[in-house]
A and B are shown apart, each in its own frame.
Chain A
């Protein structure tokens, strides 16, 4: 009974599709009329096969079959299919899908957890059949039953092999070059104007007796740009402590604030000036984009910092900050990986680190071999990308798309 209502409902749902499909007599859909109409049992779907869904967490089975010969041809009375499943050969079978139109495959996925509705346990024998339905709820035909089949989770997602190879390759490169650097190999690094300017800017601030403003941006603790910014802040704070210049770090995200406090404190300790550290150098303003900007603008105009450093994630506020900084007469150095904001920093700041340069900056400032090693690894990876791109072009030219497929990660 329940099944019947379900099918009636499905058919009613189908009504909305009828104009688009332009098949089947709309009158037949009315359940009351179907008792009169004479319908012949259609041919069943054939070649049903099932297998565990690959590269997943289990609780799911892939099904495929061939269309009934009466679907869109022959007697042309099949309106769609439904998937049925049972835990034994003799049933009871329950429906697992809605009405599937002209479909030859289906993924039967259940809930993962026992407490959820529709839980589908792994390592259980399942039997499947496909029912070809006609407009008459009582007239249908079932395919042969396929089974038993079990679902289970895999331990490795092969579709993501490309990512694993990249991570592993990059990890190897990084460790390799860091070791090389440790052994004293001289690693050349080209100069980056924006980073060299940081040193000068700290010196300038000291001469002028004015503080340095460091803005970590709007990134949350979950952004790697913010992590990169902590490390730059660490180096800047250390120099600031050595030169005994002031440092102001207004924060947007409270977690970022705590990390930044820890970073600055460590830097002052490293510089041998723990006494000069003051908890209120790094403070929280507010967790709201433009309120934060209003607050930082105020600091710029009232404290008149000699240098403003913007490092991290920035959004629309980038230009407000940079223009106010210009009015205040500060030297401004920025770095962000937020592509839509780089143009504004490039236009309005004295120096702008573009994208990857932000991530390279901490290595530059530290000039530690360990960190320079990772820059070398980055370069090799870029060379690898260029190499791959060329191989990709060539292979596409010869009509082979295996390489592009390999890098197509779902």
Chain B
């Protein structure tokens, strides 16, 4: 029961999902439509597990005074404050869209958004350091990588003068043609890999995720 039943579930539902694609009948169409809805609902229950895990790991740090335990308090405080504001619907409850508690909205706007955007913008620095470190003509492959990147970066350089439209055209061609070819090769390969993996899962050949006892 502990091991065979889940495997049977995987097999039955996996094949049911494949077969339903070929059946245009109404009974099969709602399966597809509801799946995403269901996954989201299950996801929220799982998120409770996630919050539990985060709380436990942070609390553990605080309790045993592990390195950087002070910061774990910050995490816990942020977490519970935000949950408190987010569920404060007795006073501010608005609609299903969410809480419109003042602090909830402002924490999102002035803490989450700026940090998120700043983390993202670190990429401008990292892309430069990665380019400096990795774009060296060590081998033929690295040289190709380097030249293609330089060509594309040159395309809107006003200092280039009359060469600019040529660069522009060439880079569009590069993005349109070889890029398309490589993308297709990767997508076809990935598609096959996915099908193979999915089949292995459905057939029960890959079962590491289902536990043992």
Contact = CB atoms under 8 A, between A and B. Distances in A.
A259 B207 CA distance: 11
A253 B40 CA distance: 12
Interface in B21-64: 21-26, 28-29, 39, 42-43, 46-51, 53-54, 56-57, 60
A93 interface: no
Interface-central residue, B22, B134, B210, by most chain A CB under 10 Å: B22
5 contacts: A178-B205, A231-B197, A266-B212, A347-B135, A374-B205
B211 interface: yes
B5 to A, nearest CB: 15
Interface stretch (B95-103, B158-166, B169-177, B186-194): B186-194
A153 B29 CA distance: 11
B183 interface: yes
A344 interface: yes
Given A57-B26, A323-B130, A266 B190 contact: no
A371 to B, nearest CB: 7
A284 B201 contact: no
Nearest to A267: B208
Interface of B: 18, 21-26, 28-29, 39, 42-43, 46-51, 53-54, 56-57, 60, 67-68, 112, 115-116, 119-120, 122-123, 126-127, 129-131, 133-135, 145, 183, 186-190, 192-201, 203, 205-206, 208-213
A270 to B, nearest CB: 7
Contacts of A381: 192
A307 interface: no
A316 interface: yes
A141 interface: no
A359 B24 contact: no
A269 interface: yes
A342 B199 CA distance: 25
Contact of B24 (A55, A257, A283, A344): A55
A294 B119 contact: yes
Nearest to B44: A254
A375 B192 CA distance: 10
A280 B56 contact: yes
Contact of B29 (A112, A228, A323, A371): A112
A374 B22 contact: no
A302 B39 contact: no
A167 B18 contact: yes
Given A290-B120, A347-B145, A354-B186, A284 B196 contact: no
Contacts of B123: 316, 319-320
A362 B211 contact: no
Contacts of A258: 46, 49
A47 interface: no
Interface in A354-369: 354-356, 358-360, 362
Grouping DSSP codes into helix (H, G, I), strand (E, B) and loop, the B interface class, with mixed when no group exceeds half, is: helix
Interface of A: 55-59, 112, 153-157, 160, 163-164, 167, 170-171, 174-175, 178, 220-222, 224-225, 227-228, 230-231, 233-235, 251, 253-255, 257-260, 262-263, 265-267, 269-270, 280, 283-291, 293-294, 302, 316, 319-320, 322-323, 326, 337, 339, 342, 344, 346-348, 354-356, 358-360, 362, 370-371, 374-375, 377-378, 381-382, 385
A382 B29 contact: no
A288 B51 CA distance: 13
Contacts, number: 213
Contacts of B112: 288, 291
Given A319-B126, A354-B186, A58 B192 contact: no
Given A155-B23, A319-B126, 7 more contacts: A58-B25, A59-B26, A222-B39, A262-B210, A337-B186, A348-B133, A359-B197
Contacts of B186: 337, 339, 342, 354-356
Given A163-B21, A254-B47, A258-B49, A227 B187 contact: no
B179 to A, nearest CB: 10
Given A170-B195, A348-B134, A164 B22 contact: yes
Given A55-B24, A319-B130, A265 B211 contact: yes
Contact of B116 (A265, A284, A290): A290
A355 B190 contact: yes
A204 B98 CA distance: 49
A154 B24 contact: yes
Given A171-B199, A266-B208, A283-B54, A356 B26 contact: no
Given A154-B25, A255-B46, A337 B190 contact: yes
Contacts of A154: 24-25
Contact of B193 (A284, A344, A356, A371): A356
Given A257-B53, A267-B208, A288-B116, A155 B190 contact: no
Given A254-B49, A347-B145, A356 B120 contact: no
Contact of A382 (B22, B53, B192, B212): B192
B50 A326 contact: no
A374 B42 CA distance: 32
Nearest to A156: B22
Contacts of A260: 209
Given A156-B23, A347-B134, A359-B194, A302 B212 contact: no
Nearest to B55: A284
Nearest to B131: A347
Contact of A284 (B50, B67, B145, B198): B50
Nearest to A355: B186
A262 B209 contact: yes
Contact of B199 (A326, A348, A374): A374
